[in-house]
Amino acid sequence: MNTIKITEDFMINGQPVKLVSGAVHYFRIVEDYWYDSLEKLKEMGCNAVETYVPWNFHEKEEDVFDFTSYQHNLVKFVKLAEELGLYVIVRPSPYICSEWEFGGLPYWLLTKDCRIRSSDPKFMAYVERYFEQLLPLLTPLQWTKKGPIILFQLENEYGSYGNDKEYLEAHYDLMRKLGVEVPIFTSDGAWEEALEAGYLPGKDVFPTGNFGSRAKENIANLTQFMEDKGIVAPKMCMEFWDGWFNRWNEPVIKRNPLELRDAVKEMYDLGSLNLYMFQGGTNFGFMNGCSARGTLDLHQVTSYDYDAPLTEWGDVTEKYSLLKEVFTGSNEITVKNHPKKAYDTAKHVASVSLFNTLESLSKPIYNKWPLPMEKLNQGYGYILYRANIGKARQVDKVRVIEASDRVKIYLNEEEKITQFKKEIGTEFTLDLEKPQDNQLDILVENMGRVNYGSKLIAPTQSKGIRNGVMLDLHFHSDWEHFNLDLEDISAVDFSKEYTAGPGFHKFELEVLEKADTFIDCRGFGKGVMFINGFNLGRYWEVGPIHSLYVPAPLLKEGTNEIIIFETEGISQEELHFTELPIITKIEES
């Protein structure tokens, strides 16, 4: 029987093993490229791969589970790692942070009367239902069952959020009850307060630290904590940050490769480590997260390149070569990058205004007062709120009260104002010119929920309009709601006319030979792009990244359909492509 024990070393089948791991998120990489990423991980000298498991990726809608569709087959990912002889570290916490929408928590929890990440029995009941689906897929793949999984994580950086030991114990007991046999660890910031808050005493759980520099200092902190608690376990950095994530309208952050090499070498000499990230990948669709800085929500970009050893699109980098030399003594590269191509332009073939195709996309839901997104059973995308605001007149004070995250106001389908962040709730004026039945439309975009910190339970995690719309000093009543989650863009009716404002624009790209490419988003304003129905993610003219990555497996030989939902009323006759991403602002760290 295979064994793994925790002593001062990881004892695997009786032999001490130093774990050299890299984070690869299957949910951020197209399934066709999983093997390539894992193969490059092993080539760099790693003997393990680590991945989170995002709850909202697998139970997007309540009690509807998906572990088999494209990109969702976690078992396949683990077995590919096994084929390559890699150990697997799984972090299946209900919460993952990871700059992922709501930290991996499903949006529908916001409609429940429960406190997330706590021992609240109502929350734990949802966790148990999820784990009853997830863990039976993974427990047969444990090392003790002759599979590759050697470690499971308990929660995730809980010491940076709470210290509810009853919650951690319930979490632990549930994992053991459902068949987890291999060692369980916690991972927290490597300082006493975080380690203490996130640790579960009285159970066979060992702590690890998260940091990206000053390894001697951080490991000394971790060692002292373990000695004070009487814990005997390997010294491991579970997240050695080799880069960083990026936000809209801020420079792309790059870390000096030589400095990283030296920092990793320092940690490698002290114990085991997991590089976060090995390959970052892409926040496809609406899955980008959001940082919180004071009262501000700072939304993250579509690319999760992270300045990792492998790029977002899977190319090896200077960091890869330098770290391979640290781990193996050789910097020779034998793996190959994916072919890339700047395709000829895609031609514009049709456009339609959102207002003209609205009812083909969404049937109106009536309510006396505006409802937030979650109460309309919608998690992501946009909502259009519509109301008849009466006869011709000037309304001096109009306010949208408590809305997230970005609102665009239209009067009789003509754009009047856009509000974002602190602008939302400020007064504006409307001149109503039609004698009767002036139509007010408010398009609200959910730009991604906060994934870390106290604002996980903030009211702003609920999207759309949470309160109402005031005309003068009164709340206006009688609203229609149009859900625009854009799950099925085949419903867009391109037989209708495009006049102005938000709309859908269709392009066709002819492909003779498939290769990775990037769509040049310069010249567009803000929105999302789809390739053959697959949501590539958001673009925004504020940058710093002005392109969207298109993996070759999403293309087909022949005619490819690209549909853009553009909210700023901008269109072009051609769509251009590049072989590399377009980045305008870079900050060296």
Examine the pLDDT at 240 and tell me if it is beyond 80: yes
| Options 239, 312, 480, 566, the catalytic residue | 239
State phi, psi for 260 to the nearest 5 degrees: -65, -45
Instruction: Indicate the pLDDT class of residue 294, thresholds 50, 70 and 90.
Output: confident
Examine the pLDDT at 589 and tell me if it is beyond 80: no
Examine the pLDDT at 244 and tell me if it is beyond 80: yes
169 classed as catalytic: no
Q: Which bin fits 438, alpha (ψ -120 to 50), beta or left (φ > 0)?
A: beta
Residue boundaries of the structural domains of the chain: 4-328, 346-351+489-588, 369-477
Q: Are 28 and 21 in contact (CB under 8 A)?
A: no
Q: Residue 567: beta bridge partners? A: none
What are the E-state strand segments in 389-487?
393-404, 406-411, 414-420, 428-432, 439-445, 464-471, 474-475, 479-484
Alpha-carbon span 103 to 56, nearest angstrom: 9
Q: Which of 481, 285, 301, 277 is nearest to 373 (CA)?
A: 481
Bond into 277 cis (ω within 30): yes
| Options 59, 101, 157, 566, the catalytic residue | 157
**Tens digits of residue pLDDT in 315-327:** 999 999 999 999 9
Instruction: Indicate the pLDDT class of residue 459, thresholds 50, 70 and 90.
Output: very high
Q: Are 365 and 376 in contact (CB under 8 A)?
A: yes
The CATH number of 346-351+489-588 is which of 3.40.50.300, 2.60.40.10, 2.60.120.260, 1.20.58.220? 2.60.120.260
pLDDT in the model for residue 151: 98
Question: What percent of the chain has a predicted confidence (pLDDT) above 70?
Answer: 100
pLDDT in the model for residue 295: 81
Alpha-carbon span 249 to 272, nearest angstrom: 36
With tokens 């308990």, the residue in question is 154
Sign of the torsion angle spanned by Cα atoms 493, 497, 498, 501: negative
Sign of the torsion angle spanned by Cα atoms 289, 214, 21, 175: negative
82 classed as catalytic: no
State in words which class domain 369-477 has.
mainly beta
pLDDT in the model for residue 1: 81
Alpha-carbon span 259 to 256, nearest angstrom: 5
Alpha-carbon span 217 to 323, nearest angstrom: 21
With tokens 């689906």, the residue in question is 133
Tell me, yes or no, if the two domains 4-328 and 346-351+489-588 fold the same way: no
Q: Does domain 4-328 have CATH number 3.10.129.10?
A: no
Alpha-carbon span 374 to 459, nearest angstrom: 12
pLDDT in the model for residue 485: 98
Instruction: Indicate the pLDDT class of residue 369, thresholds 50, 70 and 90.
Output: very high
Alpha-carbon span 371 to 383, nearest angstrom: 10
